[in-house]
Amino acid sequence: MTITITAFERSPDRGKGLGRDMRVRWAIEEVGQPYDVRLVSFKAMKQPAHLALQPFGQIPTYEDGDLALFESGAIVFHIAEHYPGLLPDDANARARAITWMFAALNTVEPPIVDREVARYLEGDKPWYKERLTGVDERIRKRLDQLSGRLGDADWLDGEFSAGDLLMVTVLRRLEGSGILNEYPNLSAYIARGEARPAYKRAFDAQLAVFTAASSG
Ligand code: GTB
């Protein structure tokens, strides 16, 4: 059985690879598995067939034979557990890599999502500027801490892992905000992730979807 994931038929990020299908694509590419992508429209995401796979009407989903999963973190974790290449063999190192997966999604990503929500949904509110200032303070607090922890290491804990994969995709969501310029080691960390051949294959695949949709 070939893995099938879902992604936006028309990504609102115009091929920048900021949707959460990107992390799933990248993980599958890192472990060298073939996969198919089923593209879904915003309308189809809210229909029963998709809701049976993703109760919140979102992408990405993951299907492999009898197994159907949702939540990008759970999907990346499943891929990392199931195929070699994204988690260390040593039990303690593996537990630490999984810890970084949770840190990326539970500690670093929330204020970054808040920033996107503020920009897209609250930009016309009279309190928008104050809100953005507060959110950016929370983001900088997390980036200060993450930057301090990473120091001049290549990856967060030894070899590249699923923890780095998720952290890089989370940090990429700040591209264009200017905030990352304040953190040269985090910018270099993102660039290292983006330079991985598996990342490039994943990025090109999602970009091809946008290009095809724009020319059609
Ligand atoms: N917790 C879930 C997961 O990790 O899988 C969150 C999934 C999620 O937010 N999916 C979004 C979605 O399906 C797409 S990725 N949204 C449609 C909906 O809720 O109706 C979020 C996203 C969207 C767009 C951009 N962008 O344009 O830059 C970036 C990220």
Kindly report, residue by residue over 11-30, the tens digit of the pLDDT: 999 999 999 999 999 999 99
Report the chain's C-alpha Rg in angstroms: 17
**Average model confidence (pLDDT) across the chain:** 97
Q: Find the 92 Cα to ligand 1 centroid distance in Å.
A: 32
Give the other-Cβ count within 10 Å of 182's Cβ.
Answer: 12
Measured by CA distance, the residue closest to atom 23 of ligand 1 is 19
Ligand 1 atom nearest to 56, measured from its CA: 19
Using 50, 70 and 90 to split pLDDT, how confident is the model at 1? confident
Question: Percent of the chain, pLDDT > 90?
Answer: 97
Mean pLDDT of 128-132: 96
Going by pLDDT thresholds of 50, 70 and 90, the confidence category of residue 216 is: low
Q: How many CB atoms lie within 10 A of CB 198?
A: 20
Read off the pLDDT of residues 153-176 as tens digits, 9 standing for 90 and up.
999 999 999 999 999 999 999 999
Which helix (H) or strand (E) covers residue 144, if one does? Answer: helix 128-150
pLDDT digits (tens, 9 = 90+) for 56-109: 999 999 999 999 999 999 999 999 999 999 999 999 999 999 999 999 999 999
Percent of the chain with pLDDT over 70: 100
Domain ranges of the chain: 3-85+197-215, 91-194
Nearest to 170 by CA among 96, 111, 87, 98: 111
Mean pLDDT of 122-128: 94
Please list, in sequence order, all residues whose beta carbon lies within 8 angstroms of the beta carbon of residue 9, skipping any fewer than 6 positions away.
39, 40, 41, 44, 209, 213
Say how many Å lie between the CA of residue 90 and the centre of ligand 1.
33
Do the Cβ atoms of 69 and 62 come closer than 8 Å? yes
CB of 61 closer than 6 A to ligand 1?
no
Nearest CA to ligand 1 atom 20: 58
The answer, yes or no, to whether the previous bond of 126 is cis (omega within 30 of 0) is: no
Q: Mapping DSSP to helix (H, G, I), strand (E, B) and coil, where does residue 5 land?
A: strand
CATH topology (fold) of 3-85+197-215 = Glutaredoxin (3.40.30)
DSSP-derived secondary structure letter, 8:
E
Q: Which CATH number fits domain 91-194: 3.90.1410.10, 3.40.50.2300, 1.20.1050.10, 3.40.630.30?
A: 1.20.1050.10
What token pair was written down for 154? Answer: 């290549």
pLDDT at residue 134, rounded to an integer: 97
This prediction's pTM: 0.97
